[in-house]
Amino acid sequence: MTRLYTFPGGVKLKGHKAISTSQPISKADIPARLFVPLNQSIGSPAECIVEKGQRVLKGQMIGRATEYVAAPVHAPSSGTVIDIQKFPAAHASGLPNDVVIIKPDGKDEWLERKPLPDITKLDSSELRNMIRCAGIVGLGGAAFPTFIKLNPVGHQISTLILNGAECEPYISCDDMLMRERPHEIIEGAKIMRHALDARQVIIAIEENKPEAIASLQAFAEDINWLHVQSIPVIYPTGGERQLIKVLTGKDVPSHGLPLDLDLVVNNVATAAAVHHALDHQQPLISRIITVTGSGVRSPCNIEALIGTPMSDLIEMAGGYTEDADRLIMGGPMMGITLKTDATPVVKASNCLLVQTPADHSTEAITRPCIRCGECVKVCPVKLLPQQLYWFSQAKNLDDLQSHNLFDCIECGCCSIVCPSHIPLVQYFRYGKSEIWKKEQETIRADRARKRTEAKIQRLERIKAEKKAQHAARAKKSAAGADRKKEIQAAVARAKAKKTENADHTENLDM
Ligand code: SF4
Ligand code: SF4
């Protein structure tokens, strides 16, 4: 496959990736405390199944999924649960999350693992179930439960695309994984292809990662269903829809899914996690995270246990520079600002970016929109960002929706080119949250209305039943009175007849 296509818009950005790729992936020590959030995926949080004081083993499930869109969480090392409490979370809302705090015992003792049957002999539903139990979610940052993506109900999947584009500046964890551990990705690809019954697998990598491309190509040479494809460097080519457009020329329909084109897209690190889960029975308890930016002394990539405080990783990366002033989980375009470095690593933590004032010096000088249209030119989903901005400012939620706000992938292209430095994405996130809030209020009001209607109906039914019972009792008692009267009348009649007969007998005697 060589023909490639382009998607609308996009921007060329400085990569800043080389600063974190000069040294191999290092491994973080087990921290003094592990802070494992129960909510680490899209969907419902896991339900805690351990208690304070309980000993847990490495790989033991500590939070189970109770809904379909959810993922379980596991103990990253052996130790004792010392608390279950609210803790700052690596989440856009910034709200505290329920966290299981484990004091590791240093033994790193695994839960007993039974040997697995031959993966190729398992059917796709068994594979999906094992992937689900291992708590695998998309490691590109979206954290969508992987087993759902591997369940293409009603579709014959032609191609599984493994996304190794890693287009956002500074992030290099996938690049380093592809360079150093290509076999893990390919073994995961085999399992995912088997689960999907897909004809082929394409691993797509931006052409600014020649080492990663060479590394995977060397492994892929003898595999006829696998193709490693280099793609042009333009942001946000790693977006699911943009990547599909580049590789196939096809557009995923608005409100649709890649499945509608018989395609499935997963991240390369997710494939490696699937390999660990099925070939080594290791649930998702660690990940590679890039620790980088001008605010750390020695940017690098670290494999850390989920639950490790970010402060430990900063130390491994040589500590803060003197002017470090902002922490971002993710990249500079789509990442979320963290309030504290006590925040733990979660499954979605692909990067910890430490910035200095020089990195965000333009943010303070926001000016009015001059209607230049630059934001429209770069939008990869053909939205009208300046219009959306007006509607967000005016809290015009209906127009925001009718202008497809929810197609916005929050890539930040519009914000970065805006000469007035308007933080457009922040307005769009705000607009989306207002619409969700309104929808939730509507749902709540609807539920309350239905509850009230049901209550009124119940009271009316009880009233009607009581009335009917009363009427039935009255009828029964009236019937009883009538019967009594009938009996009394019959007795009176019998008495009268007896008297009459006696009189008649007396008359005969005379
Ligand atoms: S780029 Fe900025 S100034 Fe130009 S139209 Fe868009 S919002 Fe307005
Ligand atoms: S953030 Fe949204 S509106 Fe702005 S360019 Fe990206 S997709 Fe378009």
What kind and span of H or E run contains 244?
A: helix 240-248
* Whether the predicted pLDDT of 94 surpasses 90: no
The pLDDT value given to residue 509: 47
Reported as a pLDDT band with limits 50, 70 and 90, residue 243 is very high
Considering every ligand atom shown, identify the ligand nearest to the alpha carbon of residue 389 and give its number. 1
Q: How far is the CA of 25 from the centre of ligand 2 (A)?
A: 33
The pLDDT value given to residue 506: 54
Considering every ligand atom shown, identify the ligand nearest to the alpha carbon of residue 404 and give its number. 2
Residues 424 and 319 in one domain: no
69 is a domain residue: yes
Question: Best of 11, 365, 366, 375 to mutate for ligand 1, by most ligand atoms within 8 A of CB?
Answer: 375
* Whether the predicted pLDDT of 173 surpasses 90: yes
The pLDDT value given to residue 100: 97
Residues 310 and 402 in one domain: no
* Whether the predicted pLDDT of 79 surpasses 90: yes
- Which residues is 337 bridged to in the sheet? 328
Residues 304 and 382 in one domain: no
Cα separation, 334 vs 102, in Å, equals: 31
Return the residue whose CA atom lies nearest to atom 5 of ligand 1.
371
The pLDDT value given to residue 510: 41
**Mean pLDDT, rounded, of the chain:** 92
Question: Best of 414, 418, 432 to mutate for ligand 2, by most ligand atoms within 8 A of CB?
Answer: 414
* Helical segments of 9-120, H only: none
468 is a domain residue: no
User: Going along 263-420, which residue ranges are E strands?
Assistant: 263-267, 286-292, 300-305, 326-329, 336-338, 351-355
Domain boundary pick from 297, 321, 354? 354
Question: Best of 245, 389, 410 to mutate for ligand 2, by most ligand atoms within 8 A of CB?
Answer: 410
How does pLDDT run across 434-480, given as a tens digit for each residue? 888 888 888 888 888 888 888 889 999 999 999 999 998 888 888 87
Rounded mean pLDDT, 326-332:
96
> Would you say 310 and 320 are in contact if contact means Cβ atoms under 8 Å apart?
no
In terms of pLDDT, which residue wins out, 204 or 499? 204
Return the residue whose CA atom lies nearest to atom 8 of ligand 2.
379
Residues 61 and 184 in one domain: yes
Can you tell me which residue has the tokens 């966290």? 99
Return the residue whose CA atom lies nearest to atom 8 of ligand 1.
369
Residues 311 and 417 in one domain: no
462 is a domain residue: no
Return the residue whose CA atom lies nearest to atom 6 of ligand 2.
411
Domain boundary pick from 320, 354, 388? 354
What kind and span of H or E run contains 35?
A: strand 34-37
Structural domain range at position 395: 374-434
Return the residue whose CA atom lies nearest to atom 5 of ligand 2.
379
**Residue 381 in contact with ligand 2 by CB distance below 6 A:** yes
Cα separation, 185 vs 163, in Å, equals: 11
500 is a domain residue: no
> Would you say 249 and 179 are in contact if contact means Cβ atoms under 8 Å apart?
no
492 is a domain residue: no
448 is a domain residue: no
How does pLDDT run across 406-433, given as a tens digit for each residue? 999 999 999 999 999 999 999 998 899 8
Residues 323 and 382 in one domain: no
The pLDDT value given to residue 504: 59
**Residue 413 in contact with ligand 2 by CB distance below 6 A:** yes
Cα separation, 208 vs 417, in Å, equals: 23
Residues 277 and 381 in one domain: no
Cα separation, 84 vs 82, in Å, equals: 7
Residues 333 and 403 in one domain: no
Residues 331 and 397 in one domain: no
How does pLDDT run across 285-325, given as a tens digit for each residue? 999 999 999 999 999 999 999 999 999 999 999 999 999 99
The pLDDT value given to residue 489: 85
Give the percent of the chain with pLDDT over 90: 76
256 is a domain residue: yes
Rounded mean pLDDT, 136-145:
92
Rounded mean pLDDT, 179-205:
97
Q: Which residues line ligand 1 (CB under 6 A)?
A: 369-375, 385-386, 389, 418-420, 422
Q: How far is the CA of 381 from the centre of ligand 1 (A)?
A: 16
* Whether the predicted pLDDT of 1 surpasses 60: no
26 is a domain residue: yes
Nearest ligand 1 atom, CA 424: 7
The CATH number covering residue 202 comes to: 3.40.50.11540
Rounded mean pLDDT, 216-236:
95
Domain boundary pick from 434, 452, 474? 434
Overall size of the chain counted in residues: 510
The pLDDT value given to residue 162: 98
The pLDDT value given to residue 505: 53
Residues 234 and 267 in one domain: yes
* Whether the predicted pLDDT of 97 surpasses 90: no
Residues 318 and 229 in one domain: yes
Token couple for 389:
């901005």
Cα separation, 182 vs 148, in Å, equals: 24
Q: How far is the CA of 407 from the centre of ligand 2 (A)?
A: 9
Return the residue whose CA atom lies nearest to atom 2 of ligand 1.
418
**Residue 416 in contact with ligand 2 by CB distance below 6 A:** no
Q: What are phi and psi of 157, to 5 degrees?
A: -75, 130
Give the percent of the chain with pLDDT over 70: 96
Nearest ligand 1 atom, CA 417: 1
The pLDDT value given to residue 425: 93
Q: Is 80 helix (H, G, I), strand (E, B) or coil?
A: strand
Cα separation, 111 vs 448, in Å, equals: 46
Residues 243 and 175 in one domain: yes
The pLDDT value given to residue 446: 84
**Residue 274 in contact with ligand 2 by CB distance below 6 A:** no
Considering every ligand atom shown, identify the ligand nearest to the alpha carbon of residue 384 and give its number. 2
**Residue 411 in contact with ligand 2 by CB distance below 6 A:** yes
Count the domains in the chain. 2
